[in-house]
Amino acid sequence: MEQKQRNSNVAQKEKISNGVKGMTIIVKTIGSWAKVLIFLFGIYIVLFGHLTPGGGFAGGVMIASAYVLLMLAFGGEFVKQNLSPSLALKLACAGTLAFAAIAVAGFFYGPDGFFWNFIGQEWLAGESSNLHFINAGIIMLAELAVGVIVAAAIFLVIFTFSTFKFDVSDNQKE
């Protein structure tokens, strides 16, 4: 009986030390509702960055924080299945390339070259229109690229820190 108790204690300690498999059902339920709202608000901040306060960086941080919420509530493995780190790295690189392509494309279209707004601005700010939020030419495309970069990069940073395992082989050698 005592042996069994000790075994279960050891198993419990290993379970705790091997990484938490998620929190209680309350946190999981509320987190699965809140993640949608946080993600949508991040996309809204990215798309309307040229009209309202915010922009690519702030919206990207919000999208990454939705994944951080999932990471805290459901554990790292769940997030790894949803958005693998290799895919996040590819997204960050693709966003960087898209931003550079938008900047360099100005050379082929306009007299000013770098970051020339080749799409143009059809409506002035403050003027009402059905397509109000695409009235700033390349600014929205650049903000979109920045949002993808920031979301993927911050997700990668936090995911790397959360799944960090101490390498004890060096200490055991001495």
Partner 1 sequence: MPYALCFLLFVIGLYCVLVKKNMVKIVIGILVMEYAVNLFLIMLGYRTGGAAPIIDKTCLEPGTGQITASFISTSVDPLPQALVLTAIVISLGSLALIISICVRTYEKYGTFDITKIRRLKG
Answer yes or no whether residue 17 interacts with partner 1 by CB under 8 A. no
Residue 110 and residue 41: Cα distance in Å, rounded?
Answer: 34
> Looking at beta carbons only, is 37 or 157 nearer to partner 1?
157
Answer yes or no whether residue 16 interacts with partner 1 by CB under 8 A. no
Residue 95 and residue 159: Cα distance in Å, rounded?
Answer: 19
Q: Give the x/- contact pattern for partner 1 in 134-163, rule: CB under 8 A.
A: --------------------x--x---x--
Residue 147 and residue 142: Cα distance in Å, rounded?
Answer: 9
Answer yes or no whether residue 126 interacts with partner 1 by CB under 8 A. yes
DSSP state of 50: T
How far from 82 is each of 66, 67, 74, 135, 168, CA to CA, in Å?
Answer: 12, 9, 11, 34, 30
- Scanning the structure block, which residue is given the tokens 């997030």? 79
Residue 61 and residue 58: Cα distance in Å, rounded?
Answer: 5
Q: Give the x/- contact pattern for partner 1 in 54-83, rule: CB under 8 A.
A: -x-x--------------------------
* Number of amino acids touching partner 1 (CB under 8 A): 14
Residue 34 and residue 31: Cα distance in Å, rounded?
Answer: 5
> Looking at beta carbons only, is 22 or 85 nearer to partner 1?
85
Which residues, numbered 98-117, are part of the site for partner 1 (CB under 8 A)?
none
Answer yes or no whether residue 125 interacts with partner 1 by CB under 8 A. yes
Question: What torsion, rounded to 10 degrees, do the Cα atoms 15, 21, 22, 24 define?
Answer: -50
Residue among 16, 25, 124, 131 that touches partner 1 (CB under 8 A): 124
Minimum distance from CB of 166 to partner 1 (Å)?
5
Footprint of partner 1 (CB under 8 A): 55, 57, 124-127, 154, 157, 161, 164, 166-167, 170-171
